[in-house]
Structure 1
Amino acid sequence: MNSNPSPSNSSRFEGCTLTGALSVLTEIRDAICIVHGPAGCTHHNFSLLHATLLSNDRLEVPRLLSTRLTENDIIFGGEEALEKTLTRALSLSPASIFVLSTCIVETIGDDTEAVCAKDRGVPVIAVPTAGFLGGVFETGIRNALSTVASLARPAAGTTLSANLVGEKNLEYGVDENAAEIARLLSRLGIGINLRFVRGIGTRDIERLGSATVNILREPALRPVGEGLRQRLGTPYVDSFPTGLAGTCRFLEDIGRICGVDTSTAIEEEHAFQAAMLHQFADIAGSRVHFQSPHPMLRGDPGAEAICNECAEALDLAADPDGAVIPYPYPAPVGTAGLRRMLHRWRILIREKQRG
């Protein structure tokens, strides 16, 4: 929930804290998530997650259970309902269970952590996801990642590899973005150790500490990166690469952390970018007008910089009467993301030229 309802001050990341956490935790395939609260909280999120999975051709059902709190539970406490739901969850033989609190549970004062702390043979972990005190979608993501990381232990050694931390699982193109990171890392001879958290099992979390570097999806996840650095000793890069120059800087940063020479990789990426831009020579010199994708959203300086960089590379002219091109959100990842963005630009420019 947001304590400031003014649309002009709304953050793009705002939304339900519970939804943010579930977007992470439901990607642990052998886990069950219990939403401790009224049935409606679970129903809403199940519908959203299921629809997102289907839109990405994933015929899966989110493993969610609800404690289905009633008025009686809200008045007298819902811990008994949680105990019953945990018994039901354990009968399904999960490898781990995550219990997510809702606003009403925090309001009535259920001691969710105490209930979860009992030995049940598998990890049962409470995740704070009540947003009524100002938590938002992004808060849920951070809390979920930090909670899951508690299952990891320092590794005996590391491999030349990277973890992708905090991918936006509800984002269109999430797998394409991961593939672009893998492509860039391959130039340095570095592989992906773990997508934390996307499409993994509970046991996979054990190898979280064996990577040489963590790559955060965005700077907002720095607290998670710091937590992993302190617990597991893994340094991090604070965002996926964006922009032409930014993508090459990303290679430099990864190479510096991993002790890998980047000169050849950067030279190859420069050539790759030049060939990509050449594919759009047909729109060079066109007139364009960049604007926010929605009047309620604040401008994104990063998106503006990327658009200006690509416009300069293609000799596009800024003109209020030119083809209207919205600033991208989120910013396209790597060179492949820029290619997809420029394909959209071409369509808009051609439509404008046709009148």
Structure 2
Amino acid sequence: MKKRVLQVGCDPKHDSTRLLLGGADIPTVLDYMRETPQEAQKLEDLVFEGYGGTACVEAGGPKPGIGCAGRGILSSFEVLKRVGLRASSFDVVLYDVLGDVVCGGFAVPLRKEYADAVFLVTSGEYMALYAANNILRGIRNFEDSVPRVAGIIFNRRGLFEEEERVFAFARATGLPVLASIPRDEVFSQAEKVGKTLAEAFPSSAPAGIFRELALYVKNMEKDRSLLHPANPLGDIELEALVLGRRERPCIKPFGTGSVSRKRSCAEPVSLSQENRPFAEIHMEIPETSFEKICPGIPEAQSAEISSRTPTEVSTSSQEKQLSRPLLCGCAFSGAVTATFQVNDAATVLHGPRSCTYITADALTRSFLLGDGRNISDKEKQVPGLLPTDMKEEDIIFGGLEKLENRIEEALLAGWQTVFVVSTCPGGIIGDNIREAASRAKVRFPGARVIPIPVEGVITGDFSAGMLEGSKRVADLIDPSVRPEKGLVNIIGERNFSPQEEKNFCIVEKLLQRLGYRVNCRFLKETDTLSLRSFKKAELNLLACTDPDTQAIQEYLSKRFRLEFFELPFPVGFRESSIWVKALAARLLPGKDVSSLLQEQEKVYKAGIGKYAPHLSGKRVLLVSYTEDISWVLDTIRDLGMEILKVGFSVSTFRKERPDLLSNEGFPVERNYTDEMRAKDVRDLRPDLVLSSYVPSVPEGGVHYDTIPISPQVGFLSGLELAKRWSTLLRLPVVEGWKYDGGDES
């Protein structure tokens, strides 16, 4: 018909235009994109003239089994647009699309910004009609009210009752059968000479069918009423229509024996938790369930909330069954945070640069906010984080080669231990980091290459990744080492807390007074030698008892049969006294620690005496996310201040502990809101409001201060607050410069 036609092959097999080009293959867009710099890419290198003046393009795809072909289709279209290929230059553009719309990438040509009309090519087999029905589902997913389905092209296979099935499907979906292509030897003869049917045998009957189809396309341009909406069938409806099967068979879970009750055939079947036959199979990354931080608190502080009541040694089994959390952060970031703490190990981060940057930036900033111990070595400001910097072509064609090269670079640079952590893209395209690690160990005997396939958010959140990273770091522990007197391990320090190094030094000094030293910090500023000697410790101390630390404790305890001290790092004078006494009783039965306690009491009382004159009698309103505030209440009382009320805000992580404040002489209110706080400020007129966060618009006439989420541990925690309050309450509530010359009344 002398139309200007562009045909774009959108199948990774890149065979759509072969017969238009005399049987020749042409460079695919994806191969060209990979081999040619963007600034050198030209339209004439990608578009070739075929039979009848047809412009031919092949999108292409990665090698079978690697990469993401769907992403390749998206990238191909972007390249064609960038080099200047415009649909407006042609009368008709044909997109030859993969029959199975398996993902959004393959579905791109079906979208309205590309295709004005969609033809479904199908035979009469059930799975062919199933694929056609899936295409209708894909169209409906992004279709507006404008109909775009032209109809069905029936590609006959010569099966029994095939025609009846196809026409029944057409009637059910409201589509016409526009052409019926016979199974004819003439197609094979044309293919043998490398030509299309229209060129090789223009007078054949099938060639006439294609001319009629071409005429239909021409008429469709003028008459949009020839198009139809997408109305896919349900799976059961499709089975009934094509296979004649009205009822679904009854099934039962494998290996569970007889079903406990008669189940309807239409009822969905699932494996029950109690009868699951594979419960003993170890899952690589178990589903974890940790309560996380509520909105308004940075993710870096999400591990900051701990149970701090020394008298509560054990938690009931009911409390341990935590509810499914909101996802916070990604598992990739959590795993890297764990492996990053092993100073003499490298971590290869298999993913885009952005993922590496976000995680590395968070780790570096947390160290800069600390006391600087972690950045004394200039070469190790971000120690051993080695990114593969996956780019678009790696996602399309697979990034294993780049990953293996990066692992090899790390081993050649002298790293003896290399962790490999994957992000979302690597997991989605199926890059097998275990395979890469295994090949590296063959080339470098004696090296430790440890894969951690957490795959970004696919696995879960930061906590899930941190746990899995900790497990793989624990692989370095030598289980044959025997405990030695005078050594302890510390478990569960908060990696993003700027207070943590100071807290470690405080605990380290207390341990030294008892004649003990720290063997290994799991996981904080450790090395492979300390990890191998991990079991030398006589006892393991918990920095906190948040859900993340409890999960790590449970894993280590079960795997290595470790002993743990039941109390976390203490906060405040009272908790610290209990902690020291209990630890001494555990490690050094009969040892007198009274001199240590008297010494700390003397310092504490001197501090209270210094700040009490400025604070005694001041009235305090407390608003907290957590109910673990005994140390704050102790400090307030010791200073002679008055507690007006304690309100506990709604929080996703707060554990109610009714016994904690039941005997106090002030009102306690739970589910405390900002509106309630504002009313209490107006009615009670406190001198100081202590809150987990300062409201964005504080009520006037009141001083605000925050309750630290990550407080200083030890005997003198409360003095840090007293010093702050003493200064704050001697200042005007609203400083003079804020009046800007106005009336101060």
Q: 1:354 to 1:335 in 2, by over 3 A?
A: farther
Residue from 361, 386, 393 that aligns with 1:47: 361
Residue 227 of structure 1 corresponds to: 555
Displacement after TM superposition at 1:97 (Å): 0.7
Displacement after TM superposition at 1:5 (Å): 11
Amino acid at match of 1:29: N
Displacement after TM superposition at 1:40 (Å): 1.3
Displacement after TM superposition at 1:354 (Å): 8.7
Residues of 1 paired with 2:496 and 2:295: CA distance?
22
Residue from 423, 441, 448 that aligns with 1:123: 448
State how 1:276-315 maps to structure 2 within 5 Å: 276-282=607-613, 283-292=615-624, 299-302=625-628, 304-315=629-640
Question: Deviations 1:152-200 (Å, cap 9, x if unpaired)?
Answer: 1131332322112232232112211001111222332222222233333
Residues of 2 paired with 1:334 and 1:101: CA distance?
39
State how 1:113-152 maps to structure 2 within 5 Å: 113-118=434-439, 119=441, 120=444, 121-133=446-458, 135-152=460-477
Question: Deviations 1:49-78 (Å, cap 9, x if unpaired)?
Answer: 333434443244212111222233323433
Q: Out of 63-72 and 339-348, give the one that drifted further.
A: 339-348
Residue 330 of structure 1 corresponds to: 710
Partner SS for 1:117: helix
Residues of 2 paired with 1:241 and 1:345: CA distance?
22
Residues of 2 paired with 1:49 and 1:352: CA distance?
38
- Superposed CA RMSD: 3.0
Please, which runs of 5 or more residues in structure 1 have no aligned partner?
293-298
- The answer to whether residue 524 in structure 2 is matched with residue 203 in structure 1 is no
Q: Is the 8 A contact 1:128 1:143 kept in 2?
A: no
State how 1:313-324 maps to structure 2 within 5 Å: 313-319=638-644, 320=681, 321-323=686-688, 324=704
Q: Is the 8 A contact 1:241 1:250 kept in 2?
A: yes
Q: 1:6 to 1:153 in 2, by over 3 A?
A: closer
Residue from 392, 396, 411 that aligns with 1:90: 411
Residues of 2 paired with 1:212 and 1:6: CA distance?
37
Residues of 2 paired with 1:157 and 1:194: CA distance?
13
Richer in helix (by share): 1
Residue from 178, 181, 187 that aligns with 2:507: 181
Higher relative contact order (CA 8 A, sep 6+): 1
Q: 1:350 to 1:289 in 2, by over 3 A?
A: farther
Q: 1:183 to 1:122 in 2, by over 3 A?
A: same
Question: Deviations 1:109-167 (Å, cap 9, x if unpaired)?
Answer: 33223322342332111224434247333333333222212101131332322112232
Q: Is the 8 A contact 2:478 2:532 kept in 1?
A: yes
Amino acid at match of 2:448: P
Number of equivalences: 346
Question: Deviations 1:5-50 (Å, cap 9, x if unpaired)?
Answer: 9848997523333333333322322211111111211122233333
Displacement after TM superposition at 1:249 (Å): 2.5
Q: Is the 8 A contact 1:332 1:341 kept in 2?
A: no
Amino acid at match of 1:139: A
Residues of 1 paired with 2:618 and 2:340: CA distance?
45
- The answer to whether residue 532 in structure 2 is matched with residue 218 in structure 1 is no
Residues of 1 paired with 2:428 and 2:731: CA distance?
53
Q: 1:314 to 1:252 in 2, by over 3 A?
A: same
Partner SS for 2:450: strand
Q: Is the 8 A contact 2:502 2:712 kept in 1?
A: no
Normalising to structure 2: TM-score of the pair? 0.43
Q: Is the 8 A contact 2:574 2:715 kept in 1?
A: no
Partner SS for 1:350: coil
Q: Out of 67-76 and 217-226, give the one that drifted further.
A: 67-76
Amino acid at match of 1:231: R
Larger Rg: 2
Percent identical among aligned pairs is 25
Residue 295 of structure 1 corresponds to: none
Q: Out of 273-282 and 206-215, give the one that drifted further.
A: 273-282
Amino acid at match of 1:130: E
Residue 153 of structure 1 corresponds to: 478
Partner SS for 2:715: helix
Residue 390 of structure 2 corresponds to: 69
Residues of 2 paired with 1:340 and 1:241: CA distance?
15
Q: Is the 8 A contact 1:213 1:257 kept in 2?
A: no
Q: Is the 8 A contact 1:162 1:213 kept in 2?
A: yes
Partner SS for 2:541: strand
Displacement after TM superposition at 1:88 (Å): 1.3
Amino acid at match of 1:46: A
Residue 192 of structure 1 corresponds to: 518
